[in-house]
Structure 1
Amino acid sequence: MRTDTEHFRCEIEDGIATLRLDRPDRKNPLTFDSYAELRDWFRALSYDDSVKAVVFGSNGGNFCSGGDVHDIIGPLTKMSMKELLAFTRMTGDLVKAMLGCGTPIIAAADGVCVGAGAIIAMASDLRIATPEARTAFLFTRVGLAGCDMGACAMLPRIIGQGRAAELLYTGRTMSAEEGAAWGFWNRLVPAAELDDAARDLAARIAAGPNFGHMMTKTMLNQEWSMSLDQAIEAEAQAQAICMQTADFTRAFEAFAAKEKPAFEGD
């Protein structure tokens, strides 16, 4: 995977990629270019087995302040419908790429996590935050609908229909404590411990069977639109495939020898 990214920071170590938006002076807003580069990076990730987990981290005490007011929102007011649709499809394609990359993604949010930043956290598989994290889906605050980048489909599944409706209609801020109680955040940690907590969780995932993790992520996403019977059958097929992997054999042999398995992803 590329680490020479232009519009966000990317570091890869021990199979863990850490991404950070890199405009801390503006609370890390997104631009047209950073949207596109993130989309392309996650699309490429689906073809790269060397990265076993991704941490989308904070920078300068904030996660992401959403679309840049001057670089995105201003120009949008002057675009044609065709241009606007191309933009909204591009932002949705970032979410699709995150969901479809096959690699578990951990959002580690401190401070501001709003607008498209809240969507990036929502589209991640696991979410850790600090008590200072402030999350808001601001779209109605700028005269738009709350249905942005899959929010009306995904947020209710995470926190419930009524809670999601309140946040999406009002654009109000969800406190870190609310987010943890509602299940949006998996847990809260002090700001000084955020990076280590996310890294430790990523390392635990990276040490596991990454083919199995890919299958888990795939089924978590695909089963939204399945009946229970279809989901059970799909999982039967997925698990049978996983049972053909060398990692499954390694796990059995390690268990029999009373050792810890060393998964290799094949």
Structure 2
Amino acid sequence: MNMNQTVPSIDPALLAGNRQRLADHTATHFLWQVQAGVGTITLNRPERKNPLTFDSYAELRDLFGRLKYAEDVTVVVVQGAGGNFCSGGDVHEIIGPLIALKAPELLMFTRMTGDLVKAMRACPQPIVAAVDGVCAGAGAIVAMASDLRLGTARSKTAFLFNRVGLAGCDMGACAILPRIIGQGRASELLYTGRSMGGEEAERWGFFNRLVAPDALAEAAQALAADLAAGPTFANGITKTMLHQEWAMTIEQAIEAEAQAQAICMLTEDFSRAYHAFVAKQRPRFEGN
């Protein structure tokens, strides 16, 4: 590819409908910050170990839905304030009210929570969960639905749905968790609802690695920054294929990857990487 070749401009009308800037977005029910391509979500109710409410579920779902159109966010970090990740659905603001609802409203709720996981898996940005302290119920699901997970030795992750009389099949847990830690281990956690300690979670493959609690936020940001400096368009393709290939045969997956990789070979980043290699330099990826 000729490096002096002029890249055709994109129709502004097309950009207007498919590109958004989220750096100036203000979240209502959690903290949101964008810096150098990394968007950070901080669940910020530390006095209650950062539980989710009807409002925060919906706002998280909508934000992750918008991320597929974001031009200024290439990686997302999810963390909790005050030494805990997330204690799950708020007992008083969610669990209590659910007791009084009828089937149509209950299905509205369970579909909303499932839509959060769908939006997390559908957004092209890799999601890094920084898990410390309590990570329970829906909090464990949010960590599970992320692409990479950093934890601490003191963290306690629990899919505790059966402890409140519910099935472990919540928000995709029966589909996703076995793919991370294996069927037998996932079955144990979902049947018993017990807590999984940090060292056990790393040993089982739930956490990519453990870091000290006071270094967790920095480590998550460093990992996110490393991903943001990479070929972000190609990373988005990788995330898409990791998700879509669950439902493919090996033959279908190989063909799908052939098509996806051919698309990546058309990017400027692929050309940049080649010319940098020839010049014995480190490539500077721009995500196009």
Query: Does residue 43 of structure 1 match 2:65?
Result: yes
Structure 1 or 2, whichever has the larger Rg, is: 2
Q: Name which of 131, 137, 141 aligns with 2:153.
A: 131
C-alpha displacement of 1:20:
0.8
Give deviations 1:155-183, integer Å, cap 9, x for gaps: 00100101000000010000111100000
Q: Hey, what does 2:274 align to over in structure 1?
A: 252
Percentage of pairs with the same residue: 65
C-alpha displacement of 1:225:
0.5
Q: Name which of 208, 218, 222 aligns with 2:230.
A: 208
Measured in 2, the distance between the counterparts of 1:167 and 1:64 equals 17
1:95 partner letter = V
Q: Name which of 201, 222, 233 aligns with 2:244.
A: 222
C-alpha displacement of 1:3:
3.3
Q: Hey, what does 1:56 align to over in structure 2?
A: 78
**TM-score, normalisation: structure 2:** 0.92
Equivalent residues of 1:104, 1:214 under 8 A apart: yes
Provide structure 2 residue ranges, at least 5 long, that are not aligned to the other structure: 1-21
Q: Hey, what does 2:130 align to over in structure 1?
A: 108
Measured in 2, the distance between the counterparts of 1:49 and 1:148 equals 32
Greater than 3 Å deviation, 4+ residue runs: none
Query: Does residue 263 of structure 1 match 2:285?
Result: yes
Q: Hey, what does 2:255 align to over in structure 1?
A: 233
* Mapping for residues 181-196 of structure 1, pairs under 5 Å: 181-196=203-218
Measured in 2, the distance between the counterparts of 1:130 and 1:109 equals 7
Q: Name which of 179, 193, 197 aligns with 1:175.
A: 197
Q: Secondary structure at the match of 1:65?
A: coil
Aligned length: 266
Equivalent residues of 1:3, 1:12 under 8 A apart: no
Q: Secondary structure at the match of 1:62?
A: coil
Measured in 1, the distance between the counterparts of 2:146 and 2:38 equals 15
Measured in 2, the distance between the counterparts of 1:49 and 1:107 equals 21
Q: Hey, what does 1:72 align to over in structure 2?
A: 94
1:112 partner letter = V
Q: Which moved more, 1:254-263 or 1:26-35?
A: 254-263
Measured in 1, the distance between the counterparts of 2:60 and 2:25 equals 12
1:240 partner letter = A
* Mapping for residues 135-174 of structure 1, pairs under 5 Å: 135-174=157-196
Provide structure 1 residue ranges, at least 5 long, that are not aligned to the other structure: none
Measured in 2, the distance between the counterparts of 1:166 and 1:130 equals 21
The root-mean-square deviation of aligned C-alpha atoms, in Å, is 0.6
Q: Name which of 24, 47, 60 aligns with 1:25.
A: 47
C-alpha displacement of 1:50:
1.2
C-alpha displacement of 1:49:
2.4
C-alpha displacement of 1:58:
2.1
2:157 partner letter = T
Q: Hey, what does 2:117 align to over in structure 1?
A: 95
